[in-house]
Structure 1
């Protein structure tokens, strides 16, 4: 058996590297090397849910009765969200797997990858249940070229990571700084997608849902937003901060500084172009305009810059949240309705813990 399947010669169980260390042997929970990453893995498990938990039938009527501008904005936003999560559902584990050399990180990223399948399936179910003829809408969504362009810069980062990871997996690339730099930039791209692009996209969805339309879609995407903000982006951040504390990570950051800066700026610019497109042709959205959505996008990007210790070369970043209504949507407990009104969304699984083991209770009541 080769060490790509099981590394019998592994000697670093006491402290394996997250990335490009010794190949993995035993899945190890005896030695707790990265407790923050393990905690995120457990949190993602506790947030497990299913794409069919919400009844989207009322959205059929909403799509038929809403204004053309609202219809277009919702369709175009769903187009990008569905496309982006389709990419994420197939890219995270396959691209990063050959690089991962920590049990905790493997557990976390494979769980996130599984969760992205739920996200992609949710958008598919929204379309399947919200229209009389979903195939027509599928064709309409696939024709939104601006959505494809919006994803292109992150998709290129994933494609480069994919090529590097597969060549490394079959021994065509060495475990050197160049290979490490490729995975580092791939993770930065993932962080940009999950912390900037997804959060910017959710603002459009929630602004529409704030009008009272598409409530089941709002509740489902609220679950997606919780996953992305509380788990996915935080996992990316934890990995990047850990790597930046290592010599190899610091070298990657120094050697790839301009490329990383350019990637973040390209993501931001693609978002701003998308916003201009979204509000073109007279499309309007109650409580939202292009300037406010652009400011929210830059506010989300600020977190990425600060995590990496960078500053924007092109844009002034907002000092505070320009979209206060997002706070209630991103805090799922603040918008939880009663069970009689709509499907329950604020819950976690596996959070009950038995504390009465071996306890003898008094019979007197």
Structure 2
């Protein structure tokens, strides 16, 4: 008799195809598209797949001259923001599949997370290409970027949560950790932290990039490329994270995880917000400024983004930051909704060739789990 494959590689005894768990259920067997237990996740996976793009779609050559000729404050604002964006997307590109591979037990969820990981690789590669093509000595800029310690500090909370989840996941994969509630909670917190990173921190960084492009008219190819990244994050990654968390809450283990991790969730959201506020103070220090955008407005954008997350968990009363429900940065509406900008393909590089693929249907809607 041919020996069975190892259960972690292919589970021949799997019996829960009709109702799999997203994480830490029965080990995977066949990749199943017959049973669609999480149709919302599958739809988002297909949406992201249809939006596939390449990091070399934009010509950054004009930015080379503009970085040489712009004022120092604008230069610093762009480079320091690019530093964090490049580092953060590098973290996401390396971490998402690595953490979730040993513990994801749903075909639909895994397809989505793999596509998101692949998409994060494009994002990280885009920042790398921006640097490679926008500067005469990109290696010098790479060193300059890595020297921005404030950018590293901005990732402290996310980095710690990701590291803890990776250790748990790898221990589980090699049989050194049981499939118990503590293991489940660690992976649950990883998903929560990823949502905070994408909904709060990425959106805060995009506001600076688009603010520079909007107020100066400079770096438009960079703005267009990062607009593509922002669309991916805002329209798909964030919604995917929310859909996963809502699906987890429908299960006994998911509800227990929320109860067990409630205080930690509050702490993570608050810590992420605090790090963004500190970064905003740093970004607007040393004479750096954005025409038409104050440090206060940028902080309110952080609070606005964080309010969406804290309301999702129905934890507004535990927030250590102001609840902001009105968008304080009007220009972000155009930069985040690509269909509002109608450029001619003959006149400039454009990111709008997929207009109509995604339509906003969440105006005035609160994405909250019914706890």
Q: TM-score range by the shorter chain?
A: over 0.9
| Aligned twin of 2:294 | 289
How many angstroms does 1:47 deviate by? 0.6
Instruction: Write out aligned runs for 1:39-50 (5 A).
Output: 39-50=43-54
| Aligned twin of 1:251 | 256
1:95 aligns with one of 99, 102, 106: 99
Cα distance in 2, alignment partners of residues 287 and 6 from structure 1: 57
After TM superposition, where is structure 1 displaced by more than 3 Å over at least 4 residues in a row?
none
Normalised by the length of structure 1, the TM-score is 0.94
| Aligned twin of 1:225 | 230
Cα distance in 1, alignment partners of residues 136 and 20 from structure 2: 53
Instruction: Write out aligned runs for 1:104-123 (5 A).
Output: 104-123=108-127
| Aligned twin of 2:27 | 23
| Aligned twin of 2:321 | 315
How many angstroms does 1:319 deviate by? 2.2
Are the aligned partners of 1:241 and 1:307 in contact in 2 as well (CA < 8 Å)? no
| Local SS of the residue matching 1:38 | helix
2:207 aligns with one of 203, 221, 232: 203
2:136 aligns with one of 132, 135, 141: 132
| Aligned twin of 1:333 | 339
Cα distance in 1, alignment partners of residues 259 and 332 from structure 2: 35
Q: Does 1:192 align with 2:199?
A: no
| Aligned twin of 1:81 | 85
Cα distance in 2, alignment partners of residues 69 and 111 from structure 1: 37
1:239 aligns with one of 227, 241, 244: 244
Cα distance in 2, alignment partners of residues 72 and 324 from structure 1: 24
How many angstroms does 1:307 deviate by? 1.3
How many angstroms does 1:333 deviate by? 1.6
Cα distance in 1, alignment partners of residues 209 and 117 from structure 2: 23
Cα distance in 2, alignment partners of residues 8 and 137 from structure 1: 51
Q: Deviations over 1:197-229 (max 9, x none)?
A: 000100000001112100000000000000000
How many angstroms does 1:346 deviate by? 1.4
2:284 aligns with one of 263, 279, 283: 279
| Aligned twin of 1:361 | none
Q: Does 1:8 align with 2:12?
A: yes
| Local SS of the residue matching 1:98 | coil
Cα distance in 1, alignment partners of residues 232 and 132 from structure 2: 23
Are the aligned partners of 2:310 and 2:319 in contact in 1 as well (CA < 8 Å)? no
| Local SS of the residue matching 1:80 | helix
Q: Does 1:147 align with 2:151?
A: yes
How many angstroms does 1:348 deviate by? 3.6
Question: Who wins on radius of gyration, i.e. which is larger?
Answer: 1
Are the aligned partners of 1:205 and 1:218 in contact in 2 as well (CA < 8 Å)? yes
| Aligned twin of 1:354 | none
Aligned residues: 351
Q: Deviations over 1:227-247 (max 9, x none)?
A: 000111111100111111221
Cα distance in 2, alignment partners of residues 204 and 344 from structure 1: 20
Q: Does 1:69 align with 2:73?
A: yes
Q: Deviations over 1:74-101 (max 9, x none)?
A: 0000000000000000000011111110
Give structure 1 stretches of 5+ with no counterpart.
352-365
Q: Does 1:57 align with 2:98?
A: no
2:348 aligns with one of 322, 325, 342: 342
Give structure 2 stretches of 5+ with no counterpart.
358-371
Are the aligned partners of 2:22 and 2:106 in contact in 1 as well (CA < 8 Å)? yes
| Aligned twin of 2:187 | 183
2:274 aligns with one of 269, 278, 282: 269
- Tell me which moved more, 107-116 or 314-323: 314-323
How many angstroms does 1:313 deviate by? 3.0
1:324 aligns with one of 320, 330, 333: 330
| Local SS of the residue matching 1:256 | helix
